[in-house]
Amino acid sequence: MNNLERAKALFQSGGYTCVLCKDDDVRVSALTGISPMLEFIDSGADLKGFSAADKIAGKAAAMLFALAGVKEVYACIMSEQAVEVFLKYGVLYSCDTLVPTIVNRAGTGLCPMEQAVKDIEEPSDALDAIKRALEFLRKGNAQPTPAGRA
């Protein structure tokens, strides 16, 4: 069983929202949204060459996977923007369902994390924008302002 197959098997066994595997090194999370990758990155974990299985991969998540050096990603749901990021940064990808965009939890518009990285091209810039958007949301605001806009 290769690393991606192991990550998928652990992910599909239930209880996890994100699983990363590289040989004997396995990282798991049950956090929601973009939080698993943010936590892994903020902890300083070296994820270069890891294979990942995730629930949803939009552009924001794809930017974080690319920033972390993850080599391949499987997601149940993946956006077309995520595919563009993966192609640009040489990340192998697969999914069950490809969608045009990732919508917010209420289904009323674009996911706030996707909105935060909408006009961003570099993964390192995406990390900062995602953190700003999360802080904005934590303060009780409905939708963050896209990077570079007033």
pLDDT value of position 140: 75
pLDDT value of position 130: 95
Q: How many CB atoms lie within 10 A of CB 124?
A: 10
Question: Do 62 and 54 form a contact (C-beta atoms < 8 A)?
Answer: no
Average pLDDT, the chain: 92
pLDDT value of position 137: 86
* DSSP annotation of 30: -
Into how many domains does the chain fold?
1
Instruction: Give the residue numbers spanning the domain of 45.
Output: 3-99
pLDDT tens readout for residues 38-52: 999 999 999 999 999
Instruction: Determine, yes or no, domain membership for 142.
Output: no
Q: What is the mean pLDDT of residues 66-73?
A: 98
Question: Do 103 and 77 form a contact (C-beta atoms < 8 A)?
Answer: no
Instruction: Determine, yes or no, domain membership for 108.
Output: no
Instruction: Determine, yes or no, domain membership for 31.
Output: yes
Instruction: Determine, yes or no, domain membership for 70.
Output: yes
Question: Do 79 and 101 form a contact (C-beta atoms < 8 A)?
Answer: yes
Instruction: Determine, yes or no, domain membership for 126.
Output: no
Q: What is the mean pLDDT of residues 116-142?
A: 90
Question: Do 55 and 18 form a contact (C-beta atoms < 8 A)?
Answer: yes
- Whether residue 143 is predicted with pLDDT greater than 60 in this model: the reply is no
Candidates 99, 101, 97, 123; CA nearest to 112 is: 101
| Cα–Cα distance measured from residue 129 to residue 123, given in angstroms and rounded to the nearest whole number | 10
Q: Within 13 Å, how many C-alpha atoms sit on residue 146's CB side?
A: 10
- Whether residue 83 is predicted with pLDDT greater than 70 in this model: the reply is yes
Instruction: Determine, yes or no, domain membership for 77.
Output: yes
Instruction: Determine, yes or no, domain membership for 11.
Output: yes
Instruction: Determine, yes or no, domain membership for 65.
Output: yes
| Cα–Cα distance measured from residue 121 to residue 52, given in angstroms and rounded to the nearest whole number | 22
CATH of the domain at 56: 3.40.140.30
